[in-house]
Amino acid sequence: MPTYSIKMRASKSGKHVSGAERILPQQDISRAVSALSERALHHGLGRADFINVKIEEIQPGELQYLEALPVSARPAATVEGSYAIMRQILGELGLAAQADKLVALLRSVHPMRGAVLYDLATDRCIEPDHQRGIRVTYMDAESASATGSCKNHFREAVVLATKVVHAPGVIAELCMSDDPEYVTGYISSLRHGYVRLTPLKEVGNPHGGRIFIFDSRLADAADAINYLEKQRVLVRGLPPERPLNADPQQIFAEELARLKEKSLYRSMRTIDSPQSKYVKMRGRSVLLLASNSYLDLADDERVKQAAAQAALAWGAGSGGSRLTTGNTALHEQLENKLAQFKSTEAALLFNTGYMANVGIISALCDSESVIFSDEYNHASIIDGCRLSKARVVVYKHNDMRDLEKKLQTTAYRKGLIVSDAVFSMDGDIVDLPRLTALGKQYHVLTMIDEAHATGVIGATGKGTVEYYDYACVPDIIMGTLSKALGAEGGFACASKTIIEYLKNKARSFIFATSQAPATLAAALKALEILEAEPRRAQRLQHNVEYFLRCLHDAGVKAESPTAIVPIVIGNEAAALKVADELLQQGCLIPAIRYPTVAKGTARLRVALMSSHTEAELKRTAQLIAAAMKKYAGKQN
């Protein structure tokens, strides 16, 4: 049975979109052509408008069979680490003297479609056309199925590398993909096989290159080029998709290494005491200016007693979801209390604020909805939007004109406007009067997330609606029991209709075991205290004003109408240094950096408590000013 080479090149408006080649027995040709043209017609880069398929018979003696190179992986923690391994392998190939030069060449080589042919004997790049480079063709994996229409980059790479190192005079190949998302490259040689190296560059870097290391003392360049471009090769015994010796956890270790390299690796610090204004860390007592327990209720004796009593009276866990066996009188009591506190008809508990946002938004919206979402909204809102499958239209931060423009220019059958009430990284307050007016005018639901508003803003700490003197009310108020209320859990406050709908549709409500008795009792007690002692919220509001005054007196710029006071430093490294210095001085104030906030707007994020004293706040402001003078220069 004769064998054929099939080559497909597809373009759209003159630009290359897809290319592939196969070497197959005659009987598989038509199926392969059909699969290849399907691929060109449904390509991610666009539907091809020109497809060129070339089919050539291969004479029996023309086809060379090669065993695939063995594949191994040498991941490193850093890009430089990968290049150190590349240099080491080059050294073992007797190229120690040229290793630095070759690595530099790979990292700087001109973008071209083909490869550089580097001659060791003359220390020169000798490919005849520097723009085009050397293009290796006429090769395939022997067992590749005729109809595999999905491109398999790994197999194609091993086939190419196997052919290249068999070319006369070629000693090794270095390769780095120009895909900005793909940071794995390889070095291949007959001696070491195909060695995957990762990371060879940072994610997002579009640089790529390919170098054939050749020695003109061993073979004629023309013979090497002729082999690479013309010799028909079938590669046998390809390894499976991922090399057999790869640990399935390897890709995660690689990603962690990349995070570390970009200073985006996250780790936790340990606290050895209850959450209050002073906490114990590594045996030291530090002043906490970063807690969400704004009213210092997480460590309040009465709240703790209520939780303990409830655990003894009601047990440790609830034993079921609300719709099965996990609905107790405590759940209903807390919901009634929340509805009354937020002045709505009804309320519904969720296990966390995160689950509340995800559950509410994905229940109220579907693929026929459009969600208008503030660009600074919390991650749990973003996740709820994603889960809903609705179209999401992001509007400029708290910019009601931009929101209105988007409401006017977007077609929708069902709509929802959703916003943080107090924005968690900037501490500013949503323009609720305009937002709810727009909701009414354009017939869309409105929802706010009061995670940092409850217990914090409004004359008695009831939140955003109170802050605006009850002049405007959104359809859904979402909140959490985990911040000013010092307990745990999320909630929705809304009309009876919405709440009944959520009970029937919100999956994070339906499919989770309900909150534990101790948590519910703690939240109930905290709400009771918040209402009975409005001076707590007022004291917090006073602390914000006082602290801002102290900062201004010390020459530090900051503004905020809420308990979250961002102090923008700008430079990421400087922000970290300032935060470290403050911790040395006994104040825990975290530095917040990209990607949580935009690049170049790194900041200290201070969160105040009602229990901080003026003396503590004044001293903190002075420490901040001093640390910033030392490490951050001028604030812009």
Ligand X SMILES: *Cc1c(COP(=O)(O)O)cnc(C)c1O
Catalytic residue IDs: 424, 452, 483
Q: For ligand X, which is the closer residue by CB, 3 or 419?
A: 419
Residue from 352, 362, 373, 610 touching ligand X (CB under 6 A): that is 352
Cα(421)–Cα(457) distance, integer angstroms:
10
**Closest among 281, 260, 295 to 582, alpha carbons compared:** 281
Q: Which stretch binds ligand X (CB under 6 A): 129-137, 347-355, 458-466, 536-544?
A: 347-355
Residue from 194, 227, 294, 354 touching ligand X (CB under 6 A): that is 354
Q: Which stretch binds ligand X (CB under 6 A): 201-209, 245-253, 349-357, 621-629?
A: 349-357
Judged by CB under 6 A, the chain residues 357 through 416 that form the site for ligand X are 357, 378, 380
Residue from 490, 517, 566, 590 touching ligand X (CB under 6 A): that is 490
What are the DSSP calls for 564-625, one per residue? EEEEEEE-HHHHHHHHHHHHHTTEE--EE-TTTS-TT-EEEEEE--TT--HHHHHHHHHHHH
Residue from 177, 293, 482, 610 touching ligand X (CB under 6 A): that is 482
Q: For ligand X, which is the closer residue by CB, 82 or 357?
A: 357
Q: For ligand X, which is the closer residue by CB, 420 or 572?
A: 420
Judged by CB under 6 A, the chain residues 105 through 124 that form the site for ligand X are none
Q: For ligand X, which is the closer residue by CB, 353 or 461?
A: 353
- Report, in Å, the least distance between residue 469 CB and ligand X: 23
Cα(322)–Cα(510) distance, integer angstroms:
7
Q: For ligand X, which is the closer residue by CB, 71 or 417?
A: 417
Q: For ligand X, which is the closer residue by CB, 79 or 382?
A: 382
Q: For ligand X, which is the closer residue by CB, 22 or 378?
A: 378
Amino acid at 108: S
Judged by CB under 6 A, the chain residues 415 through 474 that form the site for ligand X are 420, 424, 449, 451-452
- Report, in Å, the least distance between residue 492 CB and ligand X: 12
C-alpha to C-alpha distances, 570 to 284, 336, 431, 600, 606, nearest whole angstrom: 30, 45, 26, 5, 15
Determine how β-strand 564-570 pairs with β-strand 50-58. Answer: unpaired
Cα(234)–Cα(140) distance, integer angstroms:
5
**Count of residues engaged in binding ligand X, rule: CB under 6 A:** 14
The reply on whether position 519 binds ligand X by CB under 6 A is no
3-state secondary structure string across 112-167: CCCEEEEECCCCEECCCCCCCCECCCCEEECCCCCCCCCCCHHHHHHHHHHHHHCC
Dihedral through CA 511, CA 517, CA 518, CA 523, nearest 10? 80
- Report, in Å, the least distance between residue 358 CB and ligand X: 10
**Closest among 205, 156, 158 to 182, alpha carbons compared:** 205
- Report, in Å, the least distance between residue 612 CB and ligand X: 20
Residue from 353, 359, 566, 590 touching ligand X (CB under 6 A): that is 353
Cα(294)–Cα(522) distance, integer angstroms:
15
Cα(309)–Cα(521) distance, integer angstroms:
8
Surface-to-core class of residue 249, CB atoms within 10 Å of its CB (0-12 exposed, 13-18 middle, 19+ buried): exposed
Judged by CB under 6 A, the chain residues 542 through 601 that form the site for ligand X are none
- Report, in Å, the least distance between residue 384 CB and ligand X: 10
- Report, in Å, the least distance between residue 424 CB and ligand X: 4
- Report, in Å, the least distance between residue 331 CB and ligand X: 16
Backbone angles phi, psi at 488, to 5 degrees: -160, 140
Judged by CB under 6 A, the chain residues 53 through 82 that form the site for ligand X are none
Cα(423)–Cα(566) distance, integer angstroms:
11
Chain contacts with ligand X (rule: CB under 6 A): 352-354, 357, 378, 380, 420, 424, 449, 451-452, 480, 482, 490
